[in-house]
Structure 1
Amino acid sequence: MELNKLADCLKALGDPTRLKMIALLNTRDCCVCEFIPIFNISQPAISKHLSRLKNAGLVTERRQGQWVFYSLNRKQLEKVGVTLSNLPDFSSEFEELAAKGLLVHCE
């Protein structure tokens, strides 16, 4: 991997919010609207973080109607040397939102 591309990927992963997003996406694909109650920040802020991850090639997006779902680009993460099994398991975040009736289903 070219040095500048590697540096960009590592900078994107250096932010705790973006790193947690990677850990959450390791559980399942997510829509922007699902991240809002987890991080308790605005939709534009969530979108900016995801855009940074996408520009670094760490996540991909797919449109489904009006919704945009994000997923991990596992090959790119592997090239950077990220071992997903080393990330904390945040799947309980989704369970807590579901229990509170706050989990948003975009589909």
Structure 2
Amino acid sequence: MVTSTKQTSREVVECLKVISDPTRLLIMKLVEQKEYCVCQFVDMFAISQPAISQHLRKLKQAGLVKEDRRGQWRYYSIDESSVHSHLVKGILNHIDKEDEQFNLLLSKETPVNCK
């Protein structure tokens, strides 16, 4: 359950800095709906695995996503218990469902094929 928790201005600024990157913002929009594997993000964003991992590391350090390790692979979903969850979800709600970049990413989504 998410409760709206008051935060300091510094905490809000740090959260906003993390999601101000377009790739991280779109990752958050994706994981808002369901869990994704790193390999899926690599395919969808067409960037290297180390680059995706760096984006995910920043999101995880900010407490915005949670990681589920399954063997050598990592799966990510939104951290509903995060103190920033209410703030981030409010921002994500402002992204139009017809957003071109978001829908392009969705069109590139493939089933999990990492083993």
Aligned partner of 2:112 in structure 1 is 104
Pick from 55, 65, 73: which aligns with 1:59?
Answer: 65
Q: Give the corresponding residue for 1:6.
A: 12
Q: Alpha carbons of 1:56 and 1:91: their partners in 2 closer, same or farther (altered >3 Å)?
A: same
Is 1:87 the equivalent of 2:99?
Answer: no
2:63–2:79 Cα contact (<8 Å) kept:
yes
Q: Which moved more, 1:67-76 or 1:19-28?
A: 67-76
Gaps of 5+ in 2: 1-6
Higher helix share: 1
Residue 43 of structure 1, CA deviation: 0.5
- Structure-2-length-normalised TM-score: 0.73
Which of 14, 31, 34 is the equivalent residue of 2:37? 31
- The aligned amino acid for 2:40 is E
Secondary structure of 1:70's counterpart equals strand
Query: Which deviates more, 59-68 or 12-21?
Result: 59-68
**Residues 27 and 91 in structure 1, CA contact (< 8 A), matched pair in contact too:** no
Amino acid at match of 1:86: H
Question: Is contact 2:44-2:108 (8 Å) kept?
Answer: no
Question: Where does the alignment leave 5 or more consecutive residues of structure 1 unmatched?
Answer: none
Give the whole-Å Cα distance in 1 for the aligned partners of 2:96 and 2:63: 21
Relative to structure 1, the CA distance from residue 96 to residue 45 in structure 2 (aligned partners, 3 Å threshold; closer, same or farther) is closer
- The number of residues matched between the two structures is 102
Q: What is the TM-score of this pair, normalised by structure 1?
A: 0.78
What is the letter of the counterpart of residue 59 of structure 1? V
